[in-house]
């Protein structure tokens, strides 16, 4: 099989033919030889997103200090949440949910 033609970039085509090797064919390029080099450039916004993701990954999902403080208040019968604030939070959460028809 012989592959002929030069690649001119993404989406280019090359002709392929099968058959015996003719005496006038050019030798193939050495393995590992490259015509150019690849490069990746990351924008400053992408770097900022990466830093933010790392910082977020370091933050625990559960704030154990707050949970422990509330648990100790409940155990001591000293936990008295504001009823109106709780009701407002429940209503706000309910209104934010998509409606099912």
Would you state the pLDDT for residue 43? 87
pLDDT at 39: 83
Instruction: Average the pLDDT over each of 39-43, 65-69, 83-87, 94-98 and give the range with the smallest value.
Output: 39-43
5-53: pLDDT as tens digits: 555 555 555 555 555 554 555 555 555 555 678 888 878 888 899 999 9
Phi, psi of 11 (to 5 degrees): 85, 0
What's the confidence (pLDDT) of residue 37? 81
Q: What are the residue boundaries of the structural domains of the chain, listed by start?
A: 44-96
Cα separation, 14 vs 4, in Å, equals 6
């Amino acid at each position: 099989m012989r592959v002929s033609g030069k690649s001119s970039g993404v989406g280019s085509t090359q002709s392929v033919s099968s058959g015996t090797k003719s005496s006038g064919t050019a030798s193939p390029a050495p393995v590992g030889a490259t015509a150019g080099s690849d490069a990746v450039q990351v924008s400053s916004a992408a770097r900022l997103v990466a830093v933010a993701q790392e910082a977020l990954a370091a933050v625990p999902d559960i704030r154990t200090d707050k949970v422990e403080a509330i648990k100790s208040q409940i155990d001591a019968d000293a936990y008295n949440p504001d009823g109106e604030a709780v009701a407002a939070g429940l209503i706000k959460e309910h209104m934010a949910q998509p409606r099912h028809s």
